[in-house]
Structure 1
């Protein structure tokens, strides 16, 4: 596909790729390699974040042609993997069309991603997530219309994963069983859930992991772009930190790798060599499908990047320690963080006031606060401490006043935003409600224990009162 920029590359099928300057791309054994030079967007410059990206696709050892497509576009901050399906090369058409349609829509509305980077409010988050969803929905409608107009392409469709970066934020869009992994701080997390029959059975608890591995339905997908005129799209907003490595891949890769194998595969390998290593592993283990991998590494430069890394890590660690969120997976915790905002309070400022209604949970990221009841200081909270969680349940009056005693930065989760997330994510909602019950149960036990102790003290006081009168 000549005429493409060496850092903006749409790849699909068995075609060769030559950059416009005449330099042939790195190729070996039927693999096609797309690499980007390190780039720094205007938004990320303020945060000293840079990205490097490399992509590779291969036909595999069993297929005759490649129906996967990928996009590596660091200038736009857009990375895509699509795995097409359908006879008569229709899968190749579907994956290519989806990739191009999403690229066009996001490029035309890039300002929404810039807004997210410069002003990460609830409105800008919602707009960025909607941008991703609408882009994929437009691609879905395009492919469906193409199939309806050409009988040889009826039933064509594609899985789709997309990562759009801007500043220190990333927006993920996902349909089907292609995946996005995040390697961070020595751990590997899957940020997408497969839309397959087996995954649905696992979630419902009707089969075990062992049964899923051997199920004849493990490759049956329940969502795809283009099979129908519209599709349900999963979106997720993530905070970026220096050292993050994102891996986007088709099932031709992850079908041969367990999640726990991904981390050792990444460790000790130069980012430029990682797609090749991943694809070679899949081929060595069978290579029955097309294989595509796109890797994106986030790097940092300077104290600002270090500060961003520290805060992102502090936010996640603090969230994990809050009982209300203890049952959530990493992906679900990331979804909760995506609705959180940050607020900074000067020393002496009241954050919440006793007796006033409130519907927000506060988590101290940096600084120190004191809790006062009836004008008396009863507790002090530092980084990692939280208060106001009962406001997530109802809009009842605050039971105490919380005041910053030094400049304090907090993470804030509002009840309406959490309720909206729970409506969209039913499994997360069940876990949250179960945690609510456990928290209330713990508080009830503590209250009963305190009442019991108070009764005993009262009984003792009443028993010795006559002697005191004498």
Structure 2
């Protein structure tokens, strides 16, 4: 039984203590393994209309493609993952256009929109689409992390470093959202693919709940609660006890234990993350940012003697050794042999140029590859992450330049070394002298 067929879910919503109607909507479809939370906005109950339209249209769009999703989920490789993610994003855009059209047709609904956080589990992967300030949290191996990013004025100011937290707290509209489904005909959707593991838990929450959560660790007792229904009702009670100033929605999704293959995947995924995290290029990334890198990092297997890259060929991939050993050769000279955690080909991420050496697997090896196109896509979409990556990349290049400078200095010292042959062999005559040739010069 696959993880997508071994899911338990629990959902609850509440109007809260301050509102007279509930503009939150949620959807759970176990057969499709689709979970959505939407928090509407707009006067005259327009927010409720927007959130209801969003969950309904997304459900309809994905249900039409259920067979395709299931077939793609059984396929190997990167393209099926991208195609499922594209289907999810298309469904969000359809909902956005429909809500916008409804608002234009009814003056009382002008400007209505909704936040949206959706999770689709297919095969061994979870596909996330996110707009606004609802959230998705992930519990994995006892660690809770927020995997979506709030689209709010507060978060934008914080990311740009323009103001301190104390200064931002004084901004009147700091909680205003910067993206919503339906306000315009189209919306920028954050998407993410996560390889899911046995025992993973996801929490989808509207801001009426997570607004009272100062740190993800505060959610730990609810994730640990054996009865999921008690956990979700407890989350609703928590928000109400702390003020209940907004509608409150919680959807808790729990994956089962899986099989032997899932356990093997879990070990491999932990190793992959550990190897990436030790690289200088990725060492300063937060957990959500590391998930973004892992989304595009592909593992490839090479047999002994198989060439990974060939000197002179143009390349577009950075390689990191996950297991095994790789020999680096330039011409006939062996430059080095590298093992787990070491990498080569990082310049290919920045520019297309011939490989400076040949890399060959010495033994059966697994390599993590990161392509230039995927790297550039991250730089375009994730501005804060882009700054971190480029800054770390500069550090890597600086280290390489320092090493090259040291090598050149050592080479110059060797070339300029004093010839002490005469001191070592004082009686040896120059073979090219006249005496060595048996004659004398008068």
Q: Does 1:208 align with 2:171?
A: no
Which of residues 294, 312, 326 is equivalent to 1:337?
294
Cα distance, 1:168 vs. partner?
A: 0.9
Q: Relative to 1, partners in 2 of residues 1:236 and 1:321: Cα closer, same or farther, differing over 3 Å?
A: same
TM-score (norm 2): 0.89
Which of residues 54, 74, 98 is equivalent to 1:118?
74
Correspondence for 1:384: 341
* 1:41-60 Cα deviation digits (max 9, x unpaired): 5xx47xxx732211111111
Q: Relative to 1, partners in 2 of residues 1:358 and 1:188: Cα closer, same or farther, differing over 3 Å?
A: same
Q: Does 1:258 align with 2:214?
A: yes
Q: Distance in 2 between matches of 1:112 and 1:283?
A: 42
* 1:320-362 Cα deviation digits (max 9, x unpaired): 2222223333222222222232322222212122333222112
Deviates more, 1:403-412 or 1:77-86: 403-412
Deviates more, 1:138-147 or 1:391-400: 391-400
Two-structure CA RMSD over aligned residues (Å): 2.2
* 1:39-94 Cα deviation digits (max 9, x unpaired): x55xx47xxx7322111111112211111111111210100000011122221111
Q: Which runs of 5+ in 1 are unaligned?
A: 1-39
Which of residues 248, 251, 263 is equivalent to 1:306?
263
Q: Distance in 2 between matches of 1:152 and 1:197?
A: 26
Local SS of the residue matching 1:326: coil
Q: Distance in 2 between matches of 1:261 and 1:102?
A: 31
**What are the residue-to-residue correspondences of 1:31-180 with 2, within 5 Å?**
44=3, 50-180=6-136
**What are the residue-to-residue correspondences of 1:247-396 with 2, within 5 Å?**
247-266=203-222, 268-270=224-226, 272=228, 273-396=230-353
Correspondence for 1:195: 151
Local SS of the residue matching 1:323: coil
* 1:122-175 Cα deviation digits (max 9, x unpaired): 432332222122111111111111122222222221110000110111111111
Q: Relative to 1, partners in 2 of residues 1:331 and 1:142: Cα closer, same or farther, differing over 3 Å?
A: same
Local SS of the residue matching 1:362: strand
Cα distance, 1:402 vs. partner?
A: 2.2
Cα distance, 1:219 vs. partner?
A: 2.1
TM-score (norm 1): 0.84
8 A Cα contact 2:117 2:131, kept in partner: yes
Q: Distance in 1 between matches of 2:93 and 2:342?
A: 41
Q: Distance in 2 between matches of 1:466 and 1:327?
A: 56
Which of residues 422, 428, 446 is equivalent to 2:379?
422
8 A Cα contact 2:18 2:244, kept in partner: yes
